[in-house]
């Protein structure tokens, strides 16, 4: 019997919200099987069910960023100019680092600078995304 190759991961909520991520998305593992629905007024949980019809395809990284909390308007100022200004010449005083499967590599999820700013990092296909900056 031929194995039907899965192309999508689908999540659905009772409110009708539907999220679809491509099986080829390099960040698909960042989206948990179950998470709190963020649709306005919805109090249910979104559950993974690959048998559902797919909805609009989203990038896993975008879902992950929403799930991680996007932060306030001020915390979201992470454009190139903002990041350069924040980081250049600053001393890193803390780093959240975890071992990777390859012992010569590491995963970094955030960096704290001497002025108390913490840069939150997430993987993306073109390097690391800084999606939020918190203070203190
Ligand atoms: Zn919902």
How many angstroms separate the alpha carbon of residue 16 from the centre of ligand 1?
6
> CA angle, 8 as apex, 71 and 36 as ends, to 5°?
35
How many angstroms separate the alpha carbon of residue 49 from the centre of ligand 1?
14
The share of the chain scoring above pLDDT 70, in percent, equals: 92
How many angstroms separate the alpha carbon of residue 70 from the centre of ligand 1?
18
How many angstroms separate the alpha carbon of residue 18 from the centre of ligand 1?
8
Q: Which residues contact 135 (CB under 8 A, 6 or more apart)?
A: 116, 117, 118
> CA angle, 81 as apex, 75 and 84 as ends, to 5°?
90
Supply the pTM of this predicted model: 0.52
pLDDT tens for residues 11-31?
999 999 899 999 999 889 889
Mean of all residue pLDDT scores within the chain: 86
For 95, the token pair is: 């780093």
How many angstroms separate the alpha carbon of residue 68 from the centre of ligand 1?
17
Mean per-residue pLDDT, 66-75 = 68
pLDDT over threshold 80, residue 2: no
How many angstroms separate the alpha carbon of residue 121 from the centre of ligand 1?
27
> CA angle, 125 as apex, 119 and 130 as ends, to 5°?
10
How many angstroms separate the alpha carbon of residue 123 from the centre of ligand 1?
26
User: Strands 92-99, 106-113: parallel, antiparallel or unpaired by DSSP?
Assistant: antiparallel
Q: Which of 24-28, 33-37, 46-50, 59-63 has the lowest mean pLDDT?
A: 59-63
Residue 70 pLDDT: 58
User: Strands 34-36, 45-48: parallel, antiparallel or unpaired by DSSP?
Assistant: antiparallel
How many angstroms separate the alpha carbon of residue 81 from the centre of ligand 1?
36
How many angstroms separate the alpha carbon of residue 44 from the centre of ligand 1?
5
Of 28, 24, 20, which Cα lies nearest the Cα of 55? 20
pLDDT tens for residues 90-135?
999 999 998 888 889 888 889 999 999 999 888 777 778 888 888 8
Of 114, 12, 121, 117, which Cα lies nearest the Cα of 130? 121
pLDDT over threshold 60, residue 1: no
């Amino acid at each position: 019997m031929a194995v039907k190759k899965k192309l999508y991961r689908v999540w659905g909520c009772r409110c009708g919200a539907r999220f679809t991520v491509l099986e080829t998305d390099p960040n698909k593992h960042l989206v948990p099987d179950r998470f709190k629905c963020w649709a306005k007024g919805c109090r249910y949980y979104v559950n993974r069910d690959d048998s559902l019809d797919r909805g609009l395809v989203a990038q896993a990284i975008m879902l992950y960023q929403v799930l991680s909390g996007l932060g306030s308007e001020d915390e979201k100022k992470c454009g190139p100019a903002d990041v350069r200004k924040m980081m250049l010449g600053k001393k890193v005083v803390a780093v959240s680092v975890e071992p990777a499967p390859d012992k010569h590599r590491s995963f970094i999820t955030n960096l704290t600078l001497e002025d108390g700013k913490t840069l939150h990092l997430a993987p993306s296909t073109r390097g690391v995304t800084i999606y939020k900056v918190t203070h203190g």
